[in-house]
Amino acid sequence: MSCGKWMACMAAGGCVSLMSVGCVSLENYRRLEAQHRNLIAEKEAIDQELFDLRNSGGMMVDRQKSLSRELTTRDELVANLRRENKVLEDMRRILEKKLEEVASKANMAPPVISGPKLPAALDSALKQFASEHPTEVVYDQVRGTVKWKSDLLFALGSDVVKESSKEALRGFADVIKSPAASGFEVIVVGHTDNRPINRPQTKQKHPTNWHLSAHRAISVASVLRDFGYSPKRTGIMGYGEYRPVASNASEQGASQNRRVEVYLVPAGSIVASADAGMIVPGTGLAFAKTAG
């Protein structure tokens, strides 16, 4: 091969090599450029996400501050309500203490329902009745009263007379319907212990012990009416917890305080007043009369 041909071949080979190197560099450039664009797009997406997170974080901070303010307001409201509740509780205790003092003073003088001594025939009939029911009733000859234990007449918190007690009430009705009692009327008086009424079902019907004692007196009067005793000769009273005969500190004492007393008074002692109530002359006592 001549020198000229060899040089021509070398030049041609060099061109092919250069063209090959140039193609590889262009592909790398394009690949790098694509990667660069992807990185820019990824960076922009991250920047947008960071921006969104910052905005969301700001909103959460604002929400947290709002909730903190609301919680503080509610805490202050609860504190105020607790202070008011304490004041009311203190007032309740003061009132209860005053009521106990008043009741204690009142206990020094039992209800004044006076009249002449019961006739011998009526006194004898009541003694006989009490002896036939010694666990249920007590007859007070001096005061002319027959006292029932409420535990035997009623379930706790109830004003429904037990069926087991109705036979004794029937016997009592027979006594006060007898000719020996024709000159007398009866006043049924209910009493309770000092336990507050808490059960919602009971409280709805008997809001206080006063209500319960009066309702029990009405129930006894109603049973006497069912056994033929005229409601026109019957009065009712309820003293609630305010006329105890024993300490409520023990169950035995509380049981004694839960009672129903029936007073026999001369007929005509209870007279109608202007407001249709009933008054016992000379005693200052007023009574509600059962419906006929």
How far apart CA 161 and CA 154 sit, in angstroms, is: 5
The residues, ordered by sequence, that sit 6+ positions from 176 with a Cβ below 8 Å of its Cβ are 184, 186, 224, 229, 264
pLDDT digits (tens, 9 = 90+) for 58-72: 778 888 888 888 888
Residue 2 — very low, low, confident or very high, per pLDDT cuts 50/70/90?
low
Residue 217: predicted pLDDT: 95
Please state the pTM of the whole predicted model.
0.56
Which pLDDT tens digit goes with each residue over 206-251?
A: 999 999 999 999 999 999 999 999 999 999 999 999 999 999 999 9
Beta bridge partners of 93: none
Pairing of strands 184-191, 271-272: unpaired
Measured in degrees and rounded to the nearest 5, phi and psi for residue 266 equal -60, 140
